[in-house]
Structure 1
Amino acid sequence: MSALPALLLLCLLLAVLGPRLLARARWSEREPVLALWAWQCLVVAVLLCFGLALLLTAAAAWPQARALLFTGAPPGVEDAYGFGLARPWAVAGAFLLAVGGVRTALALAIEVRSARALRRRRERELSRQAPELPPDLLGGRRLEGGERLVVLENAQPRAWSVLGPSTRMVVTTGALHRLSDRELAAVLAHERGHVQARHHWLLHCAEALNNGFPGARIFHLFREQVGHLVELAADDSAARRHGRLATAVALVELNTAMGPAPTCPSALAEIPGRVDRLLSGTPRLPVSRRLRLTVAALAAVSAPLALAVAPGLRALF
């Protein structure tokens, strides 16, 4: 059965070499959205190798699973995978892969449950402590997409978003005192960038994979890099609308005295680098290079599928 060893070898190569290449890539800070896409494709490719290997080992271990998997397949396709020779060790392999799948599902369920509990707790706290901010505080403009702007009485300069049926942008009185109107708008645009790109789901998935496989370096680096890249992507989103200078000044004002916002995973030590990046205004990568990187990321996702169906296609043609 050539497909299964090829999938396991590809999984090993992607899990070992892929994170090293992406973590050291100098272009990632110039293209954080593309870097996030590349990381997601890498992780999906590894999980695809894992899932497809589970299907093949299950088919080799149990004839019932094999019959279900190859229902409606043309003659000769099933024989091309050579399942008859693999059964003695396939049961143990299927069991180990199934344990990994269950751990991943449990870790994701726990992470989603914890996130929902935290969101509900924050919503209750806000409903007790914070009134809705009058729209005339922002020059008479209302927030986008039905969002609510909530002010919290607190001397610490902070701002964050609370997800729910209607997203709420929360700012403290300390932030209102320290930020100008343009800087406050940049802060809100930063948080809106997180919400619109669904960065919270990406962070939850990264955390769940790291918790499910604490010894796997790929998932540790994925969580670490995602936490950094989502902040750069949100910085760029704010800078495009309100300018790099206003975004950089707001970032300094919110973090120099009291540390990062509660929902912001980047460490305080990263703030100088993010500010320097905003002020330097480094141009984006050429379109041709962005296209090549996108194709490479898609190729990583397509490779497991190609390996899994290759024996069947050879039998047909």
Structure 2
Amino acid sequence: MTDAVVLACYTVAVSALLPGPLSRARWADRSPRLAIAMWLAACASVVGSAPLALVAATVPADAIGHGLADLFELCTMMLAEGPGPAAWAALAAGALVVGRVTGCVAVVLAKARRERRRHAEGLAVLGRPDRDLGAVVVDHPEPLVYCLPGRGATTVITTAALRSLHTEQVAAVLAHERAHVRGRHHLVLATGEAFARAFPLVPLFAGARAEVARLVELRADDVAASRHPRVQIAAALVGLATGRVPAFVMGAGGQSALARVRRMLRPAAPLARRERMAGLAAVALLLAGPAVVAAVPGLSAFVTHHCHALFVL
């Protein structure tokens, strides 16, 4: 029962207390990819720890401790006699949590796919492919650059953006959009959105949705900056700051553009190797920690039982 209490307290603590420190972490802007991994690992950890807490509260550790044969016999008896109310409640709650998140992921991806397909059909009529740019050009009075991710990904730039940006700036901002496509950032955003939709009252999930959306832009900026001067990216972001792209696409401008301009012009030092390793260890702990806590009582009982049996022999 102790492990169930630990897992329940862990679920509540991570859900309510982790978003604040993680949102204020200054290192996140220095390594957005690691920060994205930590946010999503925290969300997955909470979704996993809640059902594990319920299972740990209803399945006795001795069921594992006496060996696989006895565990199989216990499971057979439970199936024959029917699980008790507590076991049924634990199984139902666990299935509900996992099913809720999985369903929301499917809904978010399906809706975005439909909207992108509809938008792509319009681009096929109104846009004109430019082989030199590797993008579709659309006549539009607003300066916009964005991408339609997924299968057959397309990068779009408006005539207003071509008029307002220099050639180097156009190349830099197109590199930003291609970084989104190569990094499959639409799947990352869909995951964050799904967690928040599944459990809208959980602070961790709401924070993850907002921060992941910001961090994927920083990551795309960094990829573009590896091939183009940072000053050109910053200038392009200024020119695109007022543009409003559709909600289901990823655009280079937006509300975070001005903050990203400052980051481009005043880059911070990347994380040291020791800092990166510590961050990766934290991600691994978030992902594996709940499973380890849930397994420890059963493994301890297993070792105790078999060591005792060997000692008797």
1:218-257 paired onto structure 2 within 5 Å? 218-256=204-242
The aligned counterpart of 2:308 is none
Give the TM-score taking structure 1 as reference length: 0.83
| Structure 2 residue 205 is the aligned partner of structure 1 residue 205 | no
> What per-residue deviation string (whole Å, max 9, x for no partner) do you get for residues 289-313 of structure 1?
1111211221121111111211221
| Structure 2 residue 126 is the aligned partner of structure 1 residue 160 | no
Name the CA shift for 1:233/1:93 in 2 (closer, same or farther; >3 Å): same
Partners of 2:252 and 2:49 lie apart in 1 by: 31
Question: Which SS does the other structure have where 1:150 is aligned?
Answer: strand
Name the CA shift for 1:76/1:131 in 2 (closer, same or farther; >3 Å): closer
Contact 1:228 1:265 in 2 (8 A): no
Name the CA shift for 1:266/1:181 in 2 (closer, same or farther; >3 Å): closer
Question: Which SS does the other structure have where 1:284 is aligned?
Answer: coil
Percent identical across equivalent pairs? 33
| Structure 2 residue 59 is the aligned partner of structure 1 residue 73 | no
Contact 1:214 1:220 in 2 (8 A): yes
Contact 2:50 2:94 in 1 (8 A): yes
Partners of 1:149 and 1:35 lie apart in 2 by: 30
The aligned counterpart of 2:89 is 92
| Structure 2 residue 272 is the aligned partner of structure 1 residue 277 | no
Give the aligned CA root-mean-square deviation in angstroms: 3.0
Following superposition, the deviation at residue 33 of structure 1 comes to: 1.1
The aligned counterpart of 1:50 is 50
Contact 2:108 2:194 in 1 (8 A): yes
Partners of 1:41 and 1:178 lie apart in 2 by: 40
Contact 1:182 1:246 in 2 (8 A): yes
Name the CA shift for 1:210/1:240 in 2 (closer, same or farther; >3 Å): same
Contact 1:244 1:279 in 2 (8 A): yes
Give the TM-score taking structure 2 as reference length: 0.83
Name the CA shift for 1:77/1:298 in 2 (closer, same or farther; >3 Å): farther
Q: Which residue of 119, 122, 129 corresponds with 2:116?
A: 119
Partners of 1:243 and 1:78 lie apart in 2 by: 66
Letter in 2 for 1:100: V
| Structure 2 residue 127 is the aligned partner of structure 1 residue 130 | yes
| Structure 2 residue 27 is the aligned partner of structure 1 residue 11 | no
Following superposition, the deviation at residue 74 of structure 1 comes to: 5.3
Q: Which residue of 277, 293, 307 corresponds with 2:279?
A: 293
Following superposition, the deviation at residue 56 of structure 1 comes to: 4.6
What is the total number of aligned residue pairs between the two structures? 294
Partners of 2:42 and 2:283 lie apart in 1 by: 7
> What per-residue deviation string (whole Å, max 9, x for no partner) do you get for residues 69-120 of structure 1?
99x82557999xxx9xx95544434434433333323322221210111111
> Could you list the runs of 5+ residues in structure 2 that have no partner in the other structure?
304-313
The aligned counterpart of 1:107 is 104
Q: Which residue of 167, 174, 184 corresponds with 2:160?
A: 174
Following superposition, the deviation at residue 210 of structure 1 comes to: 1.0
Contact 1:159 1:172 in 2 (8 A): yes
Following superposition, the deviation at residue 160 of structure 1 comes to: 0.9
The aligned counterpart of 1:144 is none
> What per-residue deviation string (whole Å, max 9, x for no partner) do you get for residues 110-158 of structure 1?
21210111111011111111121132xx5xxxxxxxxx52111112111
Partners of 2:107 and 2:233 lie apart in 1 by: 35
| Structure 2 residue 29 is the aligned partner of structure 1 residue 29 | yes
Partners of 1:38 and 1:250 lie apart in 2 by: 30
Moved more, 159-168 or 236-245: 159-168
Question: Which SS does the other structure have where 1:214 is aligned?
Answer: coil
The aligned counterpart of 2:306 is none
Contact 2:195 2:205 in 1 (8 A): yes
Partners of 2:118 and 2:147 lie apart in 1 by: 14
The aligned counterpart of 1:142 is none
Partners of 2:155 and 2:71 lie apart in 1 by: 59
